[in-house]
Amino acid sequence: MSDKHWRKPARRPNRHVPRTPEQQESDTTEKLQKVLARAGVGSRRGLEKIIEEGRVLVDGKVAKLGDRVSGYEKIQLDSKKIICTPAQSKEAPRVIMYNKPEGEVCTRKDPEGRKTIFENLPKVLNGRWVAVGRLDINTSGLILLTTDGDLANKLMHPSSNIDREYRVRVFGKVDQPMIDRLLNGVELEDGMAKFTDISVDEEIDSANRWITVTLMEGRNREVRRLWESQDVQVSRLKRVRFGPILLPSKVSRGRSENCTEAQIKLLQKITSESK
């Protein structure tokens, strides 16, 4: 090829744009309240107040609202060490379904020495299990736990509008007017409460039967208190569903099973769509 036909190749534009120190920091750090929320300490909004109160230390120094951390620091809340997941971690959150037996409590450590649900859970390499709500000691059935405390808080928040379904064995007369009252709402000591659905298995005039109920909240002993407000005794109570997650029959009491990737994405979608 002659020199007159040769043209210098066009120079490709340099697509690499150097990042500022602030951009580099944002890639490896997150806001302190977000890291703490993921660790299951509380909600982001609640943690902002805690940080402002000077109750959080990062590497021995009082943290300020707006501080960013990587998760590798020594973080303490009220002098208690918090185990955090590093901001750089790309590991997807784990969610498990646990079939809680009666007699177990949902606290991490019980001062009375009773067995807790955390004793039967699989080990977590980084982080810890955070329970999505609680079941009282006499209630069995489904409880979700996740390694993402922020997700747990969102699932528990009323704005997520997640219903819970229970199987309850009651003793006492249950008639249609009573069912209507429980669906319309009754006044409890902490405000109005109601079931969104009631399904009676046996004849309605039977004195001892299984009933399936659904409600949108997770207040303390709410299912029991609703029935007790009608002078009906609850002898057995089991949660069988939390939102889209149904407790599989193959998961025996005291055992757990991983939620599928599709189930986890569905839970994340529910919380992202909530107002």
Phi, psi for residue 208 in degrees, rounded to 5: -140, 110
Cα–Cα dist 38/92, whole Å: 12
**Residues 136, 175, 197, 201: which is the catalytic one?**
136
Active site residue 136: yes
In sequence order, what DSSP letters do the residues of the chain get, joined into one string? --GGG--PPPPPP----PPPHHHHHHHH-EEHHHHHHHTTS--HHHHHHHHHTT-EEETTEE--TT-EE-S-S-EEETTEE-----TT--PPPPEEEEEEPTT-BSSSS-TT---BGGGGSPP-SSS--EESS---TT-EEEEEEES-HHHHHHHHSGGG---EEEEEEEES---HHHHHHHHH-EEETTEEE--SEEEESS-TT-SEEEEEEEES---TTHHHHHHHTTT-EEEEEEEEEETTEEPPTTS-TT-EEEPPHHHHHHHHHHHHH--
Residues recognised as catalytic? 136
